């Protein structure tokens, strides 16, 4: 028994954030049907690979595991009719087109809820479905910039640094999409009715700045890049280069941890120079902080990262080696938590993917199937919707489905 057994999701998403959202929901039992664009010349950045010869490529595509694929031309009237029929039996629809596109295709929420009043319809967009920016193009960096997050990454002396697309795409959009859908499903249990879920990447990023907003709205304190304890600005909470040209991070924010560190490296005179509340919004002042940082920099260059982790962990100091990705996927804690899993495929052998971050005691997630190739389940899905073999053959020939 999986937590979301019986929930059917139609996934219209064409980008990674939608795919991660539906991957998570699929991992916990939802039936996810990936509705892929079969229109001639269609561009889909998250399209399933085409052809049996690319089965191995599909198998390693963790973002599309536990999904079925149907190729459907939504620009054709019959294609839209098929989608409407599939919507009757669906619980959730997720789309990531620019605002207005689904309305032009007549597969928008207002249309679908007339067919299925219980539908949960979730739209992903950069700025949301309304407001002065709703029609602007954009990507992760644009949303970080508007939300005020981009200005906070990097060193004080340098320009803002992009945190890849981890914050806007994956956290701001994907995770909020998962939460929005689950909350709406819970609400439907009480009301019997579906609803519209409007997920904005920008809104999601701003949510992660809630803690900083408290000081700003209350006292007018403006967070600045590279100036606080959370920005590498203070010696008790920052990165240090080590003897083997790798890096460690020390997070000795609490006085007790800082004292442990100072004693471990023979710098007991630094113990009184520890974290204060104003360090969370105020840059270091005075020569003492620079002196401490400089001396610790020299100390940490005397041993390798692994040596420091061994020594300081034993002294109850919060220290970690800054892993590269290949090191992370071999880390004993990561492996113990099943965050790297192996799926056995009869034809392809062992396939490695990342595991599931959400651990449930009674209904844990499960990889039931590897990602499909394009249109792998078209006939199966159409037959379950009531179409005959002859009708399906005709639609395949006409390019309505693929």
111 and 141: one domain?
A: yes
CA angle 379-383-387, nearest 5°?
A: 110
Give the other-Cβ count within 10 Å of 355's Cβ.
Answer: 17
Pair 359, 292 in one domain: no
- Residue 282 structural domain: 229-241+247-321
The total of other beta-carbon atoms located within 10 Å of residue 135's CB is 12
Q: Are 300 and 367 part of one and the same domain? A: no
Beta bridge partners of 69: 34
Asked whether residue 336 is assigned to any structural domain, the reply reads no
Residue 353 lies in a domain: yes
194 and 91 inside one domain: yes
Do 199 and 287 lie in a common domain?
Answer: no
pLDDT of residue 102: 97
Asked if pLDDT for residue 223 goes beyond 90, the answer is no
Q: Within this chain, do residues 27 and 123 fall inside the same structural domain, yes or no?
A: yes
What is the domain-level CATH number for residue 161? Answer: 3.40.50.10540
pLDDT surpassing 90 at residue 47: no
How do beta strands 92-95 and 120-125 pair? Answer: parallel
DSSP string, 346-380: TTTEEEEEE--S---SSS-----SPPPPTTTTHHH
111 closest CA partner among 95, 124, 133, 132: 95
Residue-level pLDDT at 45: 73
Q: What is the mean pLDDT of residues 82-98?
A: 97
Q: Rounded to two decimals, what is the model's pTM?
A: 0.94
State pLDDT tens for residues 311-364: 999 999 999 999 999 999 999 999 999 999 999 999 999 999 999 999 999 999
- Report the alpha-carbon distance of residue 266 to residue 256 in Å, rounded: 15
- What confidence score (pLDDT) does residue 26 get? 98
Question: Per-residue pLDDT tens for 128-178?
Answer: 999 999 999 999 999 999 999 999 999 888 899 999 999 999 999 999 999
Rounded CA gap, 402 and 396, in Å?
6
Do 12 and 102 have their domain in common? yes
Q: How large is the average pLDDT for residues 290-302? A: 97
Q: Could you tell me the CA-to-CA distances from 266 to 103, 269, 300, 312, 383 in Å, in that order?
A: 68, 9, 12, 12, 73
Number of domains in the chain: 2
Report how far residue 402's alpha carbon sits from residue 399's, in angstroms, rounded to the nearest whole number: 6
Q: Largest Cα–Cα distance in the chain?
A: 84
Give yes or no: residues 140 and 48 share one domain. yes
């Amino acid at each position: 028994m999986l937590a979301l057994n019986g929930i059917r999701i139609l996934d219209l998403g064409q980008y990674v954030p939608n795919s991660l959202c539906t991957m998570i929901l699929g991992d916990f039992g939802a039936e996810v049907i990936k509705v892929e664009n079969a229109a001639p010349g269609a561009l889909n950045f998250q399209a399933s690979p085409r052809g049996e010869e690319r089965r191995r490529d599909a198998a390693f595509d963790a973002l599309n595991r536990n999904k079925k694929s149907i190729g459907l031309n939504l620009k054709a009237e019959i294609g839209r009719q098929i989608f409407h029929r599939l919507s009757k039996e669906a619980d959730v629809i997720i789309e990531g087109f620019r605002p207005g596109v689904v309305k032009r295709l007549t597969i928008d929420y207002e249309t679908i809820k007339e067919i299925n009043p219980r539908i949960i319809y979730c739209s992903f967009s950069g700025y949301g479905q309304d407001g002065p920016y709703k029609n602007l193009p954009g990507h992760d960096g644009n949303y970080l910039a508007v939300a005020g997050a981009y200005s906070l990454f990097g060193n004080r002396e340098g320009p803002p640094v992009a945190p890849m697309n981890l914050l806007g795409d994956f956290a701001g959009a994907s995770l909020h999409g998962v939460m929005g859908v689950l909350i709406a499903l819970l609400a439907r249990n009480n009301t019997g009715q579906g609803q519209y879920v409007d997920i904005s990447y920008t809104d999601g990023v701003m949510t992660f700045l809630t803690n900083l907003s408290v000081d700003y709205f209350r006292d007018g304190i403006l967070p600045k890049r590279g100036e606080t304890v959370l920005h590498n600005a203070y010696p008790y909470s920052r990165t240090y280069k080590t003897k083997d040209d790798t890096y460690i991070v020390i997070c000795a924010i609490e006085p007790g941890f800082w004292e442990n560190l100072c004693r471990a490296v023979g710098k007991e005179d630094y113990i009184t120079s520890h974290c204060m509340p104003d360090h969370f919004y105020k840059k270091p002042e005075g020569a003492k902080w620079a002196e401490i940082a400089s001396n610790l920099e020299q100390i940490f260059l005397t041993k390798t990262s692994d040596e420091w982790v061994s020594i300081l962990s034993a002294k109850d100091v919060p220290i970690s080696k800054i892993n590269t990705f290949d090191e992370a996927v071999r880390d004993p804690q990561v492996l113990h938590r099943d965050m790297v899993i192996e799926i056995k495929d009869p034809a392809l052998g062992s396939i490695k993917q990342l595991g599931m971050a959400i651990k449930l005691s009674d209904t844990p997630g499960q990889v039931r199937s590897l990602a499909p190739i394009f249109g792998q389940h078209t006939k199966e899905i159409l037959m379950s919707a009531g179409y005959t073999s002859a009708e399906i053959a005709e639609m395949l020939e006409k390019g309505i489905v693929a």
